[in-house]
Amino acid sequence: MFALVDCNNFYASCERVFRPNLNNKPIVVLSNNDGCVIARSNEAKTLGVPMGAAAYQFQKLFDEKNIHVFSSNYALYGDMSMRVMTLLNNFSPDMEVYSIDEAFLKFEGFQHFNLAEIGKQMRYKVTKGTGIPVSIGFAPTKALAKVANKIAKKFPSQTGSVHIIDSEEKRIKALKWLPVEDVWGIGRQHAKRLIAMGIKTAYDFSLLSDEWVKKNMAIVGIRLKKELNGLSVLDLEDIKPKKNIATTRSFEKNYSKIVDLQERVSTFAVTCAEKLRKQKSSCNSIMVFIHTNGHRNDLPQYGKNIVIKLPYATNSSIILSEYANKGLQLIFKEGYQYKKAGVIVMDFVPEQNYQASLFENPNPKHAKLMATMDTINKSIGSKKIKLASQALDRTWKMRQEKLSKRYTTRLNEIITIHA
């Protein structure tokens, strides 16, 4: 049996843990630079706030309905997620962290255990240990566990937020209840096509012929159909290194001078390098892009990207910053107001496994220097040690006007209790 554990309204729940006065109050969380809505509490959904809503367009509704608005606090959310996953890992050695707020657990050899009781214990331990409410779905396949989880979340009073699909009767009943557009793995375009054909529920989809599914939805569709029919073909997945890493940002204002873009691009390259070292990879190629604000019709528009092949695989902040700025110089044009830039590193190899070059090879001193920088930044705070090209006298920050405290990762922001 598989279990899918899903944190309820995770971002909003994280904010409520430290501000219980927000319980049952509408909450929305905004994206980077406070641009659009990326998370909503149930109360905010009821008030008509759509996912992806531009914050400035809904400011009036936020004010009128007293909706509490927060900037994304990824330091808090990431730490709370780690705490949840650590607690869940005590219940089964086989676990896949599927996203920041979801995890699959495999219960193999638990035939003589009461899964409903285990589910209750999981909910109790997580809520007691973190304050985050969760919903849990058990089923013989991952796709059905997703379905069971939706039922647990939709009907908490009937299920106790734990639902088990352990019989053919329960499987069919669950699939007939679930709209086809809500099936895990069926995208928007496939859903439209299926609905147009009269396929309205997950059960309808499970009855389609293998030939039609394979022809129109490829092997992924076949696997999903088998999973919904109770045949497990998707096992837990290990966390795999990323195939490319991107760091991009919109600026708080437009910039026309290359010196301002150089500082940003250098910082983005350093961030990519840090992530490469964290997963013990090096890259062979780097892409740099810049573009103007497409929403400003009163300004001339320009956008360009360039991919540079590196002379050798590297994860050195110094080398990647150097080549990122070389790329910027090649694509930058005077006379434009730039709003966004980014750096993407690609073509990865393990950091200890790269093809040496006859003429150019990594400086062996860089590895020790990068390790030292990473250790210092980790111990005393991120970005304390920088490259000179990052402009040490300036600190670039996202617009986060409604950022809550980082209660669990900063001692100076820890919650204060008056006793």
- pLDDT by residue (tens digit) across 210-219? 999 999 999 9
CATH 1.10.150.20 positions along the chain are 168-228
pLDDT at 352: 73
- What is the topology classification, in CATH, of domain 168-228? DNA polymerase; domain 1 (1.10.150)
Please write the tens of the pLDDT for every residue from 26-47. 999 998 778 899 999 999 999 9
pLDDT at 154: 95
More confident residue, 68 or 366: 68
Q: For the chain, give the mean pLDDT.
A: 89
Per-residue pLDDT for 399 more than 70?
A: no
Per-residue pLDDT for 355 more than 60?
A: no
Please write the tens of the pLDDT for every residue from 148-180. 999 999 999 999 999 999 999 999 999 999 999
For the chain, the three-class secondary structure string (H helix, E strand, C coil) is CEEEEEECCHHHHHHHHHCHHHCCCCEEEECHHHCEEEEECHHHHHCCCCCCCEHHHCHHHHHHCCCEEEECCHHHHHHHHHHHHHHHCCCCCCEEEEECCEEEEECCCCCCCCHHHHHHHHHHHHHHHHCCCEEEEEECCHHHHHHHHHHHHHCHHHHCCEEECCCHHHHHHHHHHCEHHHCCCCCHHHHHHHHHCCCCEHHHHHCCCHHHHHHHHHHHHHHHHHHHCCCCCCCCCCCCCCCCEEEEEEEEEEECCHHHHHHHHHHHHHHHHHHHHHCCEEEEEEEEEEEECCCCCCCCCCEEEEEEEEEEEECCHHHHHHHHHHHHHHHCCCCCCEEEEEEEEEEEEECCCCCCCCCCCCCHHHHHHHHHHHHHHHHHCCCCCCCHHHCCCCCCCCCCCCCCCCCCCCHHHCCCCCC
Per-residue pLDDT for 284 more than 60?
A: yes
Per-residue pLDDT for 397 more than 60?
A: no
Please write the tens of the pLDDT for every residue from 79-109. 999 999 999 999 998 999 998 999 999 998 8
CATH of 245-386, one of 3.40.50.20, 3.40.718.10, 3.30.70.100, 3.30.1490.100: 3.30.1490.100
- What is the topology classification, in CATH, of domain 2-139? Alpha-Beta Plaits (3.30.70)
**In this predicted structure, which of 212-221, 235-244, 376-385 has the lowest mean pLDDT?**
376-385
CATH 3.30.1490.100 positions along the chain are 245-386
